[in-house]
């Protein structure tokens, strides 16, 4: 019976071990039959392009990945299925029966701002172990990083107004709804309409009523009274079932005065979900204020994204809370994160690492070779991030010396950062070592705070929605020289 060394339970009750591309298994059988199952390799997880042509992404999904790796095993039902395919040797299947992940995983902290072509996760493990986790790693981190990034764009567009994640019914399935809500919370939304996500991740949940609730009563006013009767401290009323200004708003004010105020309560909020949102919100705010209801908030929802929210604010819309659904939970405008998982080195018997590089006719698919570290360079004067630096893992950096960083492709470009003006932070931290979880997984609230703090270190030019400044992700001289030498050796073959 396999046991799990978990500091808390990250496991999914389902056995998801076979959620992997079939070629992970066929390649692994070849490695096994060739006697290579103990050969240690390193793989890098990185992505090539920011979603929505933005300036950065927010890394998310690490906790889900940890749970998958810690629970990765093949039960007899799995083995029976693989046997039935007629593709696998019995010795390899017996290896799978006793499989347990024994490798190392290093990653940036969840919630960290990240950039294209830098190693967000480094896996160092026997080759079969490293291969079998590929699909799940990409699935967990691509999805949640995509939604966290989109959510942050929406939140930034709201200019301090609250954003609720309303996307469960538009998500692609149960897991996408639940983990999408989690990722959106990391990205900055203040709550979700998804009750299961609230239970799973201890997130704030919020919700009021549907149009059908109002339609089920003889009149709109009676529906509002019924809701206020049962939720007097949390009354929020939907105004646009019949006529937003001439019916919904008037009935909401009536319920506030006739039902809530006599009990010492007040109408918490009203919501609009259709029509000219900018115009309606301004008229609603005027009337509420005229009735002495300045504390009643206006919630709006209607297929919003960051650009619509920005437009509404520019028009002077009086909206306190934005409910954002399909465009967030599916990242509709940019639905693929595009993270990849590539071999970077092979460990030799003497303990050294032979670097590996992937070369392509498409320059964007060229990889950075070798076992690497990732550093963030901060300006001592203002705390802003100046650049990210990739080095080979054995390199030692000294903050008491000038730091020279080199463009990963344009070899004539380099930048010197003078000593005494910067500090370094190593971004890849130990997560799993020798198969054991060594990372103290923070609470979701702490991950959310870290995401906000990480974003605060970015320059305004990086945060622009349109044509953001490209952030430096550069190489050390030794890594650049290695990359060029490998390219030259490939050219001569």
Does a structural domain hold residue 57?
A: yes
% of the chain beyond a pLDDT of 90: 93
266 plus 361 within the same structural domain: no
Does a structural domain hold residue 201?
A: no
Burial of 17 (0-12, 13-18, 19+ CB in 10 A): middle
Task: Calculate the CA 326 to chain-centre distance.
Answer: 16
Does a structural domain hold residue 325?
A: no
310 plus 341 within the same structural domain: no
CA-wise closest residue to 50 among 487, 352, 438, 458: 458
The Cα 410–Cα 362 span in angstroms is: 15
Does a structural domain hold residue 32?
A: yes
H helical segments located in 217-276: 220-230, 249-255
347 plus 449 within the same structural domain: yes
**Domain encompassing residue 242:** 208-315
230 plus 262 within the same structural domain: yes
pLDDT tens for residues 21-32?
A: 999 999 999 999
Handedness of CA 390, 396, 400, 403 (dihedral sign): negative
Does a structural domain hold residue 187?
A: no
Does a structural domain hold residue 439?
A: yes
pLDDT tier for residue 274 given thresholds of 50, 70 and 90: very high
The Cα 28–Cα 133 span in angstroms is: 11
- Per-residue model confidence (pLDDT) at position 11: 60
The Cα 115–Cα 187 span in angstroms is: 16
Residue where one domain finishes, among candidates 251, 280, 315: 315
143 plus 38 within the same structural domain: yes
Instruction: Identify the helix (H) or strand (E) that includes residue 263.
Output: none
The reply to whether the predicted model has a pTM over 0.85 is yes
113 plus 230 within the same structural domain: no
CATH of the domain at 236: 3.20.20.70
- Per-residue model confidence (pLDDT) at position 363: 77
- Per-residue model confidence (pLDDT) at position 10: 61
Tally of domains in the chain: 2
353 plus 311 within the same structural domain: no
% of the chain beyond a pLDDT of 70: 97
Does a structural domain hold residue 380?
A: no
8 pLDDT more than 60: no
Interval 252-281 mean pLDDT: 97
353 plus 485 within the same structural domain: yes
């Amino acid at each position: 019976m396999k046991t799990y060394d978990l500091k808390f339970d990250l496991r999914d009750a389902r056995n998801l071990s076979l959620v992997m591309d079939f070629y992970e298994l066929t390649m692994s059988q070849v490695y096994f039959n060739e006697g290579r199952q103990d050969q240690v390799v390193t793989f890098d997880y990185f992505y090539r392009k920011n979603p929505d042509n933005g300036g950065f992404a927010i890394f998310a999904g690490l906790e889900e990945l940890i749970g998958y790796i810690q629970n990765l095993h093949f039960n007899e039902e799995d083995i029976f299925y693989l046997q039935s395919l007629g593709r696998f040797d019995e010795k390899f299947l017996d290896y799978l029966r006793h499989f347990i992940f024994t490798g190392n995983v290093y990653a940036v902290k969840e919630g960290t701002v990240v950039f294209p072509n830098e190693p967000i996760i480094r896996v160092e493990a026997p080759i079969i172990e490293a291969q079998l986790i590929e699909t799940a790693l990409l699935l967990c981190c691509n999805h949640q990083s995509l939604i966290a990034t989109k959510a942050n764009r929406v939140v930034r567009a709201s200019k301090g107004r609250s954003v609720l994640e309303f996307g469960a019914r538009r998500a692609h399935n149960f897991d996408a709804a639940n983990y999408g809500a989690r990722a959106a919370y990391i990205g900055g939304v203040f709550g979700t309409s998804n009750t299961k996500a609230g239970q799973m991740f201890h997130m704030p949940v919020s919700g009021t009523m549907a149009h059908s609730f109002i339609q089920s009563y003889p009149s709109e006013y009676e529906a509002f009274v019924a809701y206020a009767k049962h939720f007097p401290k949390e009354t929020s009323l939907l105004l646009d079932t019949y006529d937003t200004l001439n019916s919904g708003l008037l009935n909401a004010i009536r319920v506030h005065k006739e039902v809530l105020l006599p009990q010492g309560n007040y109408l918490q909020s009203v919501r609009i979900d259709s029509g000219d949102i900018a115009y309606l919100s301004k008229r609603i705010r005027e009337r509420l204020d005229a009735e002495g209801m300045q504390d009643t908030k206006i919630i709006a929802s209607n297929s919003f994204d960051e650009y619509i929210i920005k437009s509404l604010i520019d028009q002077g819309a009086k909206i306190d809370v934005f409910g954002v659904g399909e465009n967030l939970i599916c990242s509709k405008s940019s639905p693929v994160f595009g993270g990849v998982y590539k071999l970077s080195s092979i460990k030799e018997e003497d303990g050294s690492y032979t670097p590996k590089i992937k070369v392509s006719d498409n320059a964007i698919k060229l990889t950075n070779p070798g076992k690497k570290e990732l550093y963030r360079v901060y300006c001592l004067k203002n705390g802003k991030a100046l650049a990210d630096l990739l080095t080979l893992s054995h390199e030692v950096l000294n903050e008491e010396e000038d730091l020279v960083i080199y463009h990963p492709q344009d070899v004539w470009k380099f930048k010197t950062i003078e000593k005494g003006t910067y500090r370094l932070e190593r971004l890849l931290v130990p997560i799993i070592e020798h198969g054991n979880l060594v990372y103290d997984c923070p609470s979701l609230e702490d991950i959310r705070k870290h995401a906000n703090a990480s974003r605060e270190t970015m320059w305004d030019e990086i945060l622009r929605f349109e044509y953001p400044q490209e952030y430096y992700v550069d190489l050390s001289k030794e890594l650049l020289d290695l990359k060029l030498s490998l390219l030259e050796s490939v050219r001569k073959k």
